[in-house]
Amino acid sequence: MAETFNAFVITRDDDTKEQSAGWTTVSMEDLPEGDVTLRVRHTTMNYKDALAITNKSPVVRRFPMVPGIDIAGEVTASDSPDFAVGDEVIMNGWGVGEVHWGGYAQYARMKSDWLLKKPAGLSGADCMAIGTAGYTAALCVQRLLDAGLTPDKGTVLVTGANGGVGSFSVALLSALGFTVAASTGRPEEADYLKSLGASEIVDRAELSEKGRPLDKELYAGAVDSVGSTTLANVLSKVKYDGTVAACGLAQGFDLPATVMPFILRGVTLAGVDSVMAPKPRREAAWALLDKHLDRAKLAEITQEADIKDVADIAPDLIAGKIRGRLLFKVD
């Protein structure tokens, strides 16, 4: 194991509070506390990573910080009985990249409770192409399945369908036999969404403006990553006894809704958190991805990029100029 290695480090001046970031050499002794050390092999970029790098939002809460909330790699040292040297592992969330050093480095040190064994049917690169976005989508789909949703009950709506969570939700639901309606504000992406399995394209404008407290029953369930007025309208359109899995706030964190869908139609609003989800729930989500995610569709929404360019890529991701998932190989 190397004594020093390369890492992308975000620092902040204590006096001016100005943030700077770049690649530098760090020591193994600089790694944070944890009982498992990893050689990072692959990572990706999420919206949260891009916010941390560009300082568009106060994501980082401890400095210096290495961003990268998703990691795939192999164990190089372990004090945990659950992991041995050479084990291939993955990690998502747990405040990594915010308060604990993440995956934009050749090595990382983690708490063993945060790690999962890599699913047998997926490579480390596959897992990072999926990343937190796909893992969150799987958590959402699992919530719908746990609520008893089956394909015969009708169409499932996916909002923010062009985003990472939305794209994976469309692909997973389609693979499970559901008829999927995909909501997007980019009509030029209709063919892309249909290639992932969407049967119907819904204009985002139909959901983003104030609607009726109780509308026509159109959908058996939904995956929503948008929140705010969009989620309120989705709830108003869900059929009796339907379920909506909510995981995001792209439009806003408010919810200008009424209780009518809940008390007149028995609709369930199921919250989904990916950051602190317990290990059994994570394992179930990754098992769902391993079994049902179409590898050809995964390849279609994935593009490889050079990790050396993360500082240049982050602003483009925030601006919505990057479609699908980015995959970084950590050399």
Same domain for 40 and 158, yes or no, is no
Provide the pLDDT for residue 1: 67
Backbone angles phi, psi at 138, to 5 degrees: -65, -40
Provide the pLDDT for residue 177: 98
Domain boundary among 233, 251, 271: 271
Long-range interactions of 258-266: CB distance < 8 A, separation 24+ = 258/213, 258/214, 260/213, 260/214, 260/236, 261/213, 261/214, 261/235, 261/236, 262/235, 264/214, 265/214, 265/217, 265/238, 265/239, 265/240, 265/241, 266/240, 266/241
Q: What's the rounded Cα separation, in Å, for the pair 211 and 215?
A: 8
Provide the pLDDT for residue 86: 98
Same domain for 150 and 259, yes or no, is yes
Compute the chain's Rg from CA coordinates. Answer: 20
CATH of the domain at 217: 3.40.50.720
Same domain for 197 and 260, yes or no, is yes
What pairs with residue 203 in β-bridges? 184
Q: What's the rounded Cα separation, in Å, for the pair 236 and 62?
A: 41
- Note whether residue 24 is domain-resident: yes
- Note whether residue 108 is domain-resident: yes
- Note whether residue 244 is domain-resident: yes
CATH of the domain at 83: 3.90.180.10
Same domain for 88 and 216, yes or no, is no
Domain that includes residue 22, residue range: 4-118+301-329
Provide the pLDDT for residue 63: 96
- Count of structural domains within the chain: 2
Same domain for 65 and 91, yes or no, is yes
Provide the pLDDT for residue 323: 75
Q: What is the pTM of this model?
A: 0.94
Q: What's the rounded Cα separation, in Å, for the pair 23 and 35?
A: 25
Provide the pLDDT for residue 57: 85
- Note whether residue 29 is domain-resident: yes
- Note whether residue 232 is domain-resident: yes
Residue with tokens 């997973």: 172
Question: Residue-wise pLDDT tens for the chain (331 aa)?
Answer: 679 999 999 999 888 888 999 999 999 999 999 999 999 999 999 989 999 999 988 899 999 999 999 999 999 999 999 999 999 999 999 999 999 999 999 999 999 999 999 999 999 999 999 999 999 999 999 999 999 999 999 999 999 998 889 999 999 999 999 999 999 998 898 999 999 999 999 999 999 999 999 999 999 999 999 999 999 999 999 999 999 999 999 899 999 999 999 999 999 999 999 999 999 999 999 999 999 999 998 998 899 999 999 999 999 998 878 877 899 999 8
- Note whether residue 293 is domain-resident: no
Same domain for 105 and 151, yes or no, is no
